Amino acid sequence: MTITAAIVGYGNLGRSAEKLIKATEDFELFGIFSRRDNLDTQTPVYPVADAAQYADQVDVLLLCLGSATDIPEQATGFAEHFTTVDTYDNHSKVPEHYQKMNAAAESSGHLSIISTGWDPGLFSMNRVLGQALFPQPVQNTFWGKGLSQGHSDAVRRVEGVKRGVQYTVPREDAIAEARAGGGEDIVATEAHARVCYIVADETDHDRIREEIVNMPAYFAPYQTTVNFISEEEFERDHLGMPHGGHVITTGDLGGSQQSVEFTLELESNPDFTAAAMVAFARAAARLAEAGETGARSVLEIPLYLLSTQDHDTLLAREV
Ligand code: NDP
């Protein structure tokens, strides 16, 4: 089955999804729906307001929209016309998003897989798997080293900052402690450091450093380091979007201590998020083809549906 996919929203994730769909054999790309009309791409671009009229030509729609406002405001509208997959990452509101998407997809007869990506997404699956293995699991999630968009935006708002990025860096000793079974007392704010790289005039350095390290919520509770670098160094070393992390679960199994770990080291957060999204888009298209409707979380998707191979092949080769 060749799956015809379309993308809505052409930011970092939309660009990564475009690249990946074109490189994936069982997919073809119908086009991109955007609020903007002059995108820098060879792919056909359609006004997002007209998306519904193309619904019967698209097997699955990748919602590459922002989680802050786009997804809460627009996702159900797309589920009324399309099979969808999204990467909604506002963890505390995921159950609410699920309910809304379920109602929209059920009533329109479509299928929507929500909150794919890596966290939520692959990390969620691994948290559940890790917890299932132990009577009393001890589990920690560490994020990074990775570029945080929200914290980078916050440093760029400090007066005098010309360029700025912030990396979240997990403490190696905390990771080692979690692996050794001592994760129970690890607090996320103490287990992660924040490292900033800033371009600014030298006369502003001391004030900018003070303002950043004392910024409430964003930096004050964390061990924060502010490095001032040249424009050239910034251009050379800080334009990528690396990320990653670890889900570590340990537990006692009647006298024996075990440790289970899932690790990601990502050179590009959007490229990897798009990869997870495309795998779940494959599952969504197959479930829709089989007549299933409503919302699904990543926990409800049988693993074999993510694969390009069929179940019989996987059974013979991987089980
Ligand atoms: P962006 O801010 O790059 O893009 C979001 C939207 O903004 C786009 O869909 C696009 O819509 C619009 N946009 C993008 N660039 C411009 C521009 N130059 N001018 C005007 N509008 C623009 O977000 P990302 O693609 O980086 O991330 C999307 C979401 O993915 C995030 O909100 C995050 O929540 C989620 N995410 C989830 C992860 C997970 O593991 N679950 C991991 C990483 C991200 P349009 O084309 O219609 O203008």
Closest CA relative to residue 241, chosen from 266, 206, 208: 266
Distance CA 117, CA 294 (A): 19
pLDDT at 133: 98
Helix (H) or strand (E) holding 9: none
Q: What is the mean pLDDT of residues 152-163?
A: 96
Per-residue model confidence (pLDDT) at position 150: 87
pLDDT at 182: 96
Confidence of residue 280 (pLDDT cuts 50, 70, 90): very high
In the predicted structure, residue 163 carries a pLDDT above the cut 90: yes
Region of 316 please: left (phi>0), alpha (psi -120 to 50) or beta.
alpha
Distance from the alpha carbon of residue 63 to the mean position of ligand 1, in angstroms = 10
Cis peptide before 242 (omega within 30 of 0): no
Mean pLDDT of 206-217: 96
217: pLDDT strictly greater than 90 = no
Phi first, then psi: give them for residue 211, nearest 5 degrees.
-65, -40
The residue to mutate among 65, 92, 168, 268, having the most atoms of ligand 1 within 8 angstroms of its beta carbon, is 65
Ligand 1 atom closest to 9 (CA): 9
- Overall average pLDDT of the 223-252 stretch: 97
- pLDDT value of residue 195: 97
Among residues 173, 189, 192, 299, which one has the least CA distance to residue 243?
A: 192
Res. 174 pLDDT band, cuts 50 70 90 = very high
Residue 149 reports pLDDT greater than 90: no
Q: Is 273 in the pocket of ligand 1 (CB under 6 A)?
A: yes
Mean pLDDT of the region 129-138: 98
For residue 276, the model assigns a pLDDT of 98
User: Mean pLDDT, the chain, as a whole number?
Assistant: 97
Whether the ω angle into residue 120 lies within 30 degrees of 0, i.e. cis, is: yes
CB atoms within 10 A of CB 238: 18
Residue 168 annotated as binding? yes
Phi–psi pair at 59, nearest 5 degrees? -80, -40
**Nearest in space to 228 (alpha carbons), one of 286, 160, 285, 174:** 160
Atom of ligand 1 nearest to the CA of 32: 46
Ligand 1 pocket test, pick from 41, 62, 89, 264 with the greatest ligand atom count within 8 Å of Cβ, gives 89
Find tokens 């293995």 and name the residue: 133
> Is ipTM beyond 0.85?
yes
Residue 240 has pLDDT above 90, yes or no: yes
pLDDT value of residue 239: 95
Task: Examine the pLDDT at 27 and tell me if it is beyond 90.
Answer: yes
pLDDT exceeds 90 at position 189: no
Q: Is the pLDDT of residue 99 over 90?
A: yes
* Ligand 1, atom 1, residue with closest C-alpha: 11
What pLDDT score was predicted for residue 1?
A: 84
Q: How confident is the model at residue 58 (pLDDT cuts 50, 70, 90)?
A: very high
Is 252 marked within a binding site?
no
